[in-house]
């Protein structure tokens, strides 16, 4: 047989995307957001990102070795989880708590379920939800961005010794020393919820206000999202469904009573909705695979977020909405199975 003829079993056509390639591009897409967060919050944000990534990668490596498997660190997925954990925490979050959240996200959110491909919840959000339950006060303490000495000193709470409470008195003194006019320590969402003050949507879009480390600039997040969607590494329908449903639902409430409810534009660009919609709801493992299911999933997340924000006790609901969406994913997949081409729909079986 000539060398030109190669015998191979199917499949003969292969996609060019491998797991580590996609993951690497997601990391690229997250780089602008991370850099902006370092620029805005300085050393503290940098330390937060580094800690979280190192702990995530280390945890993954440790557990792979312990279970006698080949280390899966090289597929970049742990790096993404680490980046995302850091980006959804407040910039002055104590590093030991961040390390804890990062450890939980990989150990509980991923390794426990069998590693990449089996994690039913988004690992980064598992870590964040855990931290929210365990460290309620530090996770809701926000820092003003663009402090002038941000590249020379840490935010005082960042360097809290392990297992100790952060020193909020020092933090308060530090914030006062910045002499920022009208800073109340609240994020735009909290101001909206409790005082019905709506900040400028454009500022939110560009990201110059207090927020979690990486949630501030909707613009950069969108850019990353477009890049991934353009390279077909992200299902564009999910962010569109999430943001669209959030926009429409909050629009309805806004039209009903613009005094109390935020405008739909504000809803879409504030808080973690953009980051969640683009980078976390689209997690390939924990989102549905059927064409209709994807829309249902996105709409579920978008409307739950708006419901929790407008009527819940918390001012931000994206994290919970995505976790609930993840939980509903198997059911959605189950209910929206497309008909196999050519198959005849089975008549409903009689009750046996």
Task: List the structure tokens of 162.
Answer: 């392990």
Please report how close the Cβ of residue 351 comes to another protein at its closest, in angstroms.
4
What does the per-residue mask of binding to another protein show for 330-349, with x meaning CB under 8 A?
Answer: xx--x---------------
Q: Does 180 bind another protein (CB under 8 A)?
A: no
Q: Does 178 bind another protein (CB under 8 A)?
A: no
Q: Does 127 bind another protein (CB under 8 A)?
A: no
CB 118 within 8 A of CB 111: no
Out of 248, 284, 324, 336, the residue judged to bind another protein by CB under 8 A: 324
What CA–CA distance (Å, rounded) separates 24 from 123?
17
| SS3 category, 161 | coil
What CA–CA distance (Å, rounded) separates 42 from 35?
10
Q: Does 248 bind another protein (CB under 8 A)?
A: no
DSSP 8-state class, residue 139: G
Out of 18, 114, 203, 258, the residue judged to bind another protein by CB under 8 A: 114
- Using CB under 8 A as the binding rule, the residues of this chain from 188 to 227 that contact another protein are none
Burial zone of 72 (CB within 10 Å; 0-12 exposed, 13-18 middle, 19+ buried): buried
| SS3 category, 16 | coil
Q: Does 327 bind another protein (CB under 8 A)?
A: yes
- Please enumerate in sequence order all residues whose Cβ is within 8 A of that of 320, keeping only pairs 6 or more positions apart, or say none: 129, 304, 308, 314
Q: At what angle do helices 19-41 and 77-87 cross, to 10 degrees?
A: 30
| SS3 category, 173 | helix
Report the C-alpha dihedral over residues 309, 312, 315, 319, rounded to 10 degrees.
-70
Contact window for another protein (CB under 8 A) among 169-177, 195-203, 294-302, 320-328: 320-328
Residue listed under structure tokens 């931290």: 131
Contact window for another protein (CB under 8 A) among 29-37, 124-132, 139-147, 160-168: 124-132
Q: Does 62 bind another protein (CB under 8 A)?
A: no
Q: Does 7 bind another protein (CB under 8 A)?
A: no
Q: Does 252 bind another protein (CB under 8 A)?
A: no
Out of 90, 91, 92, 115, the residue judged to bind another protein by CB under 8 A: 115
Query: Which is nearer to another protein, 152 or 351 (by Cβ)?
Result: 351
DSSP 83-132: HHHHHTS-TT--HHHHHHHHHHHHHTTTGGGTSTTT-SS-HHHHHHHHHH
Burial zone of 16 (CB within 10 Å; 0-12 exposed, 13-18 middle, 19+ buried): exposed
Contact window for another protein (CB under 8 A) among 122-130, 173-181, 201-209, 251-259: 122-130
Out of 111, 124, 175, 278, the residue judged to bind another protein by CB under 8 A: 111
Number of chain positions touching another protein (CB under 8 A): 39
Reading phi first (left if > 0) and then psi (alpha if -120 to 50, else beta), residue 179 is in left
What does the per-residue mask of binding to another protein show for 65-84, with x meaning CB under 8 A?
Answer: --x-----------------
Query: Which is nearer to another protein, 150 or 309 (by Cβ)?
Result: 309
Please report how close the Cβ of residue 315 comes to another protein at its closest, in angstroms.
11
Question: In whole angstroms, what separates CA 220 from the centre of its chain?
Answer: 14
Query: Which is nearer to another protein, 178 or 314 (by Cβ)?
Result: 314
Please report how close the Cβ of residue 188 comes to another protein at its closest, in angstroms.
19
Task: List the structure tokens of 122.
Answer: 């988004």
Q: Does 328 bind another protein (CB under 8 A)?
A: yes
Per CB under 8 A, residues contacting another protein are 67, 108-109, 111-115, 117-118, 120-121, 126, 129-130, 132-133, 304, 307-308, 311-314, 317, 319-321, 323-324, 326-331, 334, 351-352
């Amino acid at each position: 047989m000539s060398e030109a003829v190669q015998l191979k079993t199917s499949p003969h056509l292969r996609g060019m995307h491998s797991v580590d390639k996609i993951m690497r591009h997601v990391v690229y897409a997250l780089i602008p957001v991370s850099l902006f967060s370092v620029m805005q919050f300085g050393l503290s944000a940098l330390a937060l990102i580094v800690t979280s990534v190192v702990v995530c990668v280390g945890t993954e490596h440790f557990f792979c070795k312990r279970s006698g498997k080949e280390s899966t660190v090289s597929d970049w997925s742990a790096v993404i989880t680490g980046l995302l954990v850091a980006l959804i925490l407040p910039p002055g979050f104590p590093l030991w708590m961040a390390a804890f959240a990062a450890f939980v996200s990989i150990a509980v959110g991923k390794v426990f379920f069998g590693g990449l491909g089996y994690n039913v919840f988004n690992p980064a959000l598992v870590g964040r939800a855990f931290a929210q339950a365990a460290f309620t006060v530090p996770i809701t303490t926000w820092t003003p961005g663009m402090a002038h000495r941000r590249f020379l000193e840490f935010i005082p709470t960042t360097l809290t010794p392990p297992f100790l409470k952060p020193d909020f008195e020092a933090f308060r003194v530090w914030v006062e020393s910045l002499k920022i006019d009208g800073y109340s320590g609240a994020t735009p969402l909290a101001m909206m919820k409790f005082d019905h003050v709506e900040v400028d949507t454009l500022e939110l879009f560009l990201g110059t206000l207090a927020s979690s480390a990486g949630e501030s600039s909707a613009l950069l997040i969108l850019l990353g999202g477009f890049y991934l969607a353009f390279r077909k590494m992200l299902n564009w329908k999910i962010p569109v469904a999430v943001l669209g449903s959030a926009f429409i639902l909050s629009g309805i409430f806004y039209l009903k009573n613009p005094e109390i409810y935020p405008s739909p534009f504000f809803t879409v660009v504030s808080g973690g909705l953009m980051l969640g919609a683009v980078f976390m709801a689209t997690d390939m493992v924990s989102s549905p695979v059927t064409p209709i299911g994807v829309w249902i999933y996105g709409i579920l997340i978008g409307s739950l977020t708006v419901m929790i924000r407008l009527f819940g006790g918390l001012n931000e609901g994206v994290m919970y909405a995505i976790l609930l969406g993840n939980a509903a994913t198997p059911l959605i997949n189950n209910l929206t199975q497309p008909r196999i081409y050519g198959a005849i729909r089975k008549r409903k079986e009689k009750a046996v």
